[in-house]
Chains A and B, each alone.
Chain A
Amino acid sequence: DIQMTQSPSTLSASVGDRVTITCRASQSISSWLAWYQQKPGKAPKLLIYKASSLESGVPSRFSGSGSGTEFTLTISSLQPDDFATYYCQQYNSYRWTFGQGTKVEIK
């Protein structure tokens, strides 16, 4: 199975900060990567698909980049609504796997 490793596990930031989360795949997944946001007690919400395509309705401060084995999710200016846990997911192999998550906390 393809292993997905996110870093950092926890991130403390302030409103207005630029935030970057990294996701690494154990083998090349081309651009078959998605990013999700999850708030406590809620289902995950799709933010980015195919590594860099913004899901409809998602604010433009979210962006994704990368290909192969290394990917990033960037929030250009952190807003109060963005404090949540973020997960990457590989979509290259049918045994879909997720990163362990990155919790973005208020500094």
Chain B
Amino acid sequence: EVQLVESGGGLVKPGGSLRLSCAASGFTFSSYSMNWVRQAPGKGLEWVSSISSSSSYIYYADSVKGRFTISRDNAKNSLYLQMNSLRAEDTAVYYCARDTGFAFNPWGQGTLVTVSS
């Protein structure tokens, strides 16, 4: 079964840092691009960042560029999101999602990041 499991969320103060992880199983992780998508409380979906299978291509939304860093470790079947200089508006559930080339499928269950003093 294809599965994605996020971890690392929590409460952090404005200006702080957090590192999210996404553990993949049930498929050849090194063959797929991966993404982070977030959803603020009561709001819609916002794409955050993408990384290609070999990490050659990396993209960020303007809202996080310069503050967030996506990375992956294909040997560990893991995806990461290093989040620095966090702001209140970064509060959201963060999902990792596999890129099939046509859509994001599947998605993990999400991990909640709360930025508050």
Contacts and interface: CB of A to CB of B under 8 A. Distances in A.
Co-complex (A, B): yes
Interface range on chain B: under 10, 10 to 19, 20 to 34, or 35 or more?
A: 10 to 19
A50 B102 contact: yes
A96 B50 contact: yes
- Choose among A42, A44, A87, A97 the residue with the greatest number of B CB atoms under 10 Å from its CB: A44
A36 B44 CA distance: 12
Contact of A46 (B95, B103, B108): B103
A32 to B, nearest CB: 8
Interface string A47-65: 0011001010000000000
Contacts of B107: 43-45
Contacts of A96: 35, 47, 50, 104
B27 interface: no
B103 A34 contact: yes
Contact of B102 (A45, A91, A94, A97): A91
Interface of B: 35, 44-47, 50, 59, 61, 95, 100, 102-110
Given A44-B104, A99-B44, 11 more contacts: A34-B104, A36-B45, A43-B106, A43-B108, A43-B110, A46-B105, A94-B50, A95-B59, A96-B35, A98-B44, A101-B44
